[in-house]
Amino acid sequence: MIEDFLSFLDVGQGQQSLRTLSRRILQKCRKITCAEAGTIFLVRRRGQTRALESMSVQNDRIRLPDRSFLVPYDTRSIAGYVAVTGEVVVIEDVYAVPLGRPYSFNRAVDMATGYRTRSILTFPLRNFQGRVIGVLQLINRLGEGGENLPFEPSHEQMIAPVNAVLGRALEQAEILDVVADANEKLRQRNKELREERARVVALQQETEEAFRTSVRLLARAAELHDKDTGQHIVRVNEYAHLLARKAGLSKVFCDEIRYTAQLHDVGKMSVDAAILHKQGRLTGNEITEMQRHTVYGWEILRASDRLSMAAEIALSHHEQWTGGGYPRGLAGEAIPVAARIVAIADVYDALRSNRPYKAAFSHARAVEIMTAGDDRIRPADHFDPRLLSIFARQHAEFDAIWTRFDDETAAAAAAAAQPIVPPLASTGP
C-alpha cells in the first residue's frame, strides 16, 4: 500500500501545486475507502493564531463552491480536534456523536445543501518531525449498491501507515509553493531592478549631456572675455582629439580631451579686462598678470573631479618642452600629455587666425612655422617632438578641421539662423 502511494505521489510531484496534490491525495484516499466525499485541511498560521484551511473539498453527490474556507484550530470541530490532539476520529453517524466529546458536527453545510453527512474517518497528516500539519477527512462510505456504510477499523489501519507519507508530500508541496512564490517575487524584483537600471542609465546620459553642455557654455562664456572668439575653442577640441588619437592614447582619454581642450583659456575670465583687451605692448607686470590665466583656469576647474584633465590643460598649456614656458617652467614629460597636445593645437590655430599683431597665415605657412620655426616660435624648444612629428605627418587633417569649423562659415550659419540672443557689442580688438 505504501509503495502504491509513493509511486502515485511520484508522478509529477514537484511540478504540482499544493492544491493539485491535495486533490489527488484526497481522491486516492476516497477511492481506497469508497468515501463519497472528503476534505483536506492544512494548518495555517494567521499572525498569532492558527486555523485549518481547506485545500481540497470533494463530494460526488453535490456541487460545492470552489473556494477554500477556514476552520478554527480548536477542539470544537472534528477536524480541529484531530489537528490539535493528533488522534484519529471514526464516527458512524455524525448526527449522533457520543456524549462527552469536546467536538460536535456542524450541520450548516448539510442544511444549506440538503446533503446528509453520516460516517466520518478523520486522521492527522504529519510532517518529518511528526508534527500535525493537516487533517484528512473522509465522509460517507458507500457500499457497492450505494448504501451507507460505516468506516471500519481496517480503513483506519489501511490509511494510517500512509498518512505520514501524505503529510510529508504535502509539506514538500507546500515548500515548493513557498519557493515558487519566492521565485515569483524574485522575478518581479529583478524586473523592477532592470527597469531601475534603465532609468539610471537614461538619467546618467541626461546628466552627462547636461555636464557637457555646461562645459561648452563655460568655454563660450570665457571666450567672450577674450579676443579669440568664433570657432577657436571648437577647433582646438578637434585638433586635440585628432592628435590624441594619432598618438595612440586611449579612447577614454581621446573622448575626454575632445570636450575639455576648449577650456584651456577659461582662466582669462579672471584676468583684468583692461589688460586682456589692451592695444599695444604690455608692461612686465601686465604680462605676468596675463600669464596667470593658466593658474586662474586651474583654480576654476580643479573643483570638479570630472574636469581634472581640463584643469591640467588650463594650467600647463603654455609650458614648453625644454622648460621655457609658464607658469611652472616644467619640461619634457613632466608636462601633462593633454597640455602638450593642446599647446600644438592652440598655436596652430593662432597662426591661422587674425590677431592684432599679425594677419592670418595660410595652412602651408602655419605648418612651416610649426615645424621650422620663426622669430617667435622655436619648435624644438616649444613642442613635444613626438607630437610635433605626428602633426607634421597629419597636418592636412588640421587644415580640414580649420576649413570645417572656419569662422566665416560659422558666422554665415549663425546669420542664417534666427539668433535668440542679439550679438554682444565688441569690447575690443
Where along the sequence are the contacts to Fe ion (CB under 5 A)? 265
CB of 397 to Fe ion, least distance (A): 23
Q: Report the SS3 class of residue 35.
A: strand
Separation CA 359–CA 95 (nearest Å): 118
Separation CA 134–CA 334 (nearest Å): 80
CB of 298 to Fe ion, least distance (A): 12
C-alpha cell at 113: 445543501
- Cα 368 to Cα 42, 71, 80, 221, distances in angstroms: 94, 99, 103, 33
DSSP structure class, residue 358:
B
Separation CA 106–CA 69 (nearest Å): 14
- Residues facing residue 148 across a β-bridge: 142
- Cα 161 to Cα 6, 41, 227, 242, distances in angstroms: 12, 19, 100, 84
Question: CB-wise, 149 or 295, nearer to Fe ion?
Answer: 295
Question: CB-wise, 30 or 232, nearer to Fe ion?
Answer: 232
CB of 377 to Fe ion, least distance (A): 15
Separation CA 106–CA 89 (nearest Å): 15
Shortest-Cβ-distance residue relative to Fe ion: 265
CB of 274 to Fe ion, least distance (A): 18
CB of 355 to Fe ion, least distance (A): 13
Cα 75 → chain centroid: 53
Question: CB-wise, 238 or 265, nearer to Fe ion?
Answer: 265
CB of 188 to Fe ion, least distance (A): 57
Question: CB-wise, 88 or 295, nearer to Fe ion?
Answer: 295
Question: CB-wise, 265 or 319, nearer to Fe ion?
Answer: 265
CB of 261 to Fe ion, least distance (A): 11
Spell out the residues 6+ positions from residue 404 whose beta carbon is closer than 8 angstroms to its own: 238
Q: End-to-end distance of the chain based on CA atoms, in angstroms?
A: 107
Question: CB-wise, 36 or 265, nearer to Fe ion?
Answer: 265
Question: CB-wise, 256 or 265, nearer to Fe ion?
Answer: 265
Question: CB-wise, 121 or 233, nearer to Fe ion?
Answer: 233
- Cα 427 to Cα 226, 276, 278, 422, distances in angstroms: 10, 11, 11, 15
With cell 458507500, the residue in question is 142
Q: Report the SS3 class of residue 296.
A: helix
Report angle CA 271, 272, 277 to the nearest 5 degrees.
100
Count how many Cα atoms sit within 13 Å of the Cα of residue 129 in the half-sphere of its side chain: 3
Question: CB-wise, 172 or 260, nearer to Fe ion?
Answer: 260
Count each helix (H run) and each strand (E run) in the chain, helices first: 16, 7
Separation CA 189–CA 225 (nearest Å): 54
